[in-house]
Every structure is written in structure tokens, then in C-alpha cells.
Structure 1
């Protein structure tokens, strides 16, 4: 889930930028350092949106920079085990699909898609359920549950997120629409 958070940090303003507008410099430094990074306690930083306050600067002997205490707002994505998320399929392979959750991709393994046997249609780049003929293709929106979560602060690209769609209420947008239609017709509506 996405959160708008109020945070505090120390920001190092390099000596070459001391003559510039301090708020602009602090925003640049925060955006460069935080956006796209992961903090296990906070989440995945999407954007630093606003500087709320800048404290007095501290000078450390031997370093020409000034260190400022800064209060700011940021948008973060905080994922949790068993959370239901929505994403878009960005790649299909013989072993599953990669799903974009915004700033990070997750893996939906073929064993977690359906109880059906699933084959990979390499020519059309899609996964096909043999019995139900349901398909997953690049560009499909889907709803899934997070079943494994391993975020790496040092190497965000090495983070691993595993998904499942093997529960009711989960699947591609088309699958969910088909289920709703089937439910509606079974009630005589």
C-alpha cells in the first residue's frame, strides 16, 4: 500500500552547492539519495514531495559540507506478507509472469497461477490454462496476494517478491470479470 509519510533525516549539502537556494539543494539531495531506495522499516521510496522544515546547519571539522536536519514528506510503498495487491504483467516466461507493482516487480510462478495445468505459448508470449483456457499476457492487469517478501536495502534490484492467484477473488481483470458475470447469471439476474 502507498503511504504519504512525514520523515526526518540529516542531509549533507556539498560545499559547491552552498551558494544556491538551500531548499532546492536539500530537495535535490533527498531525491537523489532516497527515490528508488528501500528501507525495511519505512518501505520503498517513490518520491520526496515536500520539504517541511530545515534546521540549523552543522559543520564537521575536516568536511567542507554543511549537515542540515530536515523534515520532509515522501510517498512510499510498504508491502506486507499476505497483502492483496494489483499490478500489470510486464513479462511472461515458461516459468511464470513478472508483475509490475509500480517501483518494483514481483514474480508469479506458474505453480501459483491456478490448479489447472499451464502451458507457455511462446509465439504469442502468454501463459494458458489447459482446462479453462484462461490466459495471462503482457499488459494484463491482475490481483494477487504476496506470499513471499525479501527486500534488499543494499541492492533493491535483488529484492524478491512472490505472488499467488490460487485463491478466490484473485486473478487477471478478465478472469475476475468473467467470475462476476458467472455469479450474476447463477443468481438469475
Structure 2
């Protein structure tokens, strides 16, 4: 889920940036420190929205840089278990598919790609044996987050599934919806009482 988060921190501004306005210098250093930052508490920092309160700077002896207590707002993505996400297939390997879910990548294991026996072809396509459904690079999909791991903060893992009902390639979902509408129309036509002629 995407969040706007307000943070308060001391931001270091090196002496070579003292010629800039205080807000610009602080903003550049907040971006350098926080953009693409990953933590279990914040999730994935996507962008620095704005810098608000910047106090007067303090120079620490022996450093020469200015330290400014600053409030700023971040746009973050924190993946939640069971959250539904939309994305595009970025790559397919023999063990699954990698989906870009908005600046962050999740992985769908081959066994979780569809409710079928799935095989991998050298053309980077996952193919269902019984349904003949396929997933290839560039396909748009709907998935559910089933695992989030921050063990390695440089490379956190997001596990996804497309096997449950209502998930998968968007093309499949629109086909299923069309079939449901057609079936419900046919059922309602069958359930209408038949007119009989009176003689």
C-alpha cells in the first residue's frame, strides 16, 4: 500500500552547499539520503514529496557541515500481506515470473502462476497444460501478496500468487467476467415462464 509519511530527522548539509538556499540544500540532501531507502518500518521510499520545517543549522566541531532538524514528507510503498496489486510481467525464468508492481518487484513462483500444471518454454512463456493459458513478458496481471521478507534490506523479497480466483492475467479475468455475464443472461432467460396460448 502507498503511504504519505511525515518524518523528522537531522539532515547534514556539507559546506560546498552553503551557497544554496537552506530549503534547497536540505531538500537535495533529504533526497540523497531517503530516495530508494528501504526499511521494515517505512517500506520502500519512492519519492521525497516536500520539506517543511527547517530549523537553524548547527555546526559540529571537527565536521564543518551544517545539521538542520527538518520535517519532510515521503511517498512510500509498504507491501501488506494479502494486498491485491496490479503489475506487468518484467521477466520469466524457469522457476517463475517477476512482476513490476510500481517501482518494486515481486516474484510469482511457477506453481503460483495459475491453477493448472505449468511448464516453462525457452521463449520465456509459462503455459498451462489443461487450460492452454499463457503468461509472457509484458502481460498485465493482478496478484496477491503472500510473503514479504526484509532479511536482506538491500534485496527485500515480495512473494505473489495469481492462482486464486479473481487473480491472474487481466485478459483471463475479462474473459471470465464475460462468461459469467453470458451464463447469468442464459440462466435468467431459461427461468422466465413460458407463455401459452389460450384457445
Tell me the TM-score normalized by structure 2.
0.88
Tell me the TM-score normalized by structure 1.
0.93
Question: How does 1:116-127 map onto structure 2 within 5 Å?
Answer: 116-123=116-123, 125-127=124-126
Quote the residue 1:128 is aligned against.
127
Separation in 2, partners of 1:44, 1:5? 11
Offset, 1:103: 2.0
Offset, 1:29: 0.7
1:167 equivalenced with 2:171 (yes/no) = no
Offset, 1:152: 5.2
- For residues 136-181 of structure 1, the C-alpha deviation after alignment (integer angstroms, 9 at most, x for no partner) is 11111111111111125741xx211111112111111111111101
Quote the residue 2:3 is aligned against.
3
- For residues 12-50 of structure 1, the C-alpha deviation after alignment (integer angstroms, 9 at most, x for no partner) is 001111122111111111111111111211121101021
1:82 equivalenced with 2:79 (yes/no) = no
RMSD of aligned alpha carbons: 1.4
Question: What count of residue pairs does the alignment treat as equivalent?
Answer: 186
Gaps of 5+ in 2: 187-199
Quote the residue 2:192 is aligned against.
none
Question: How does 1:37-48 map onto structure 2 within 5 Å?
Answer: 37-48=37-48
Structure 1 segments, 4+ long, off by >3 Å, are none
Gaps of 5+ in 1: none
Based on CA coordinates, which of the two structures has the bigger radius of gyration? 2
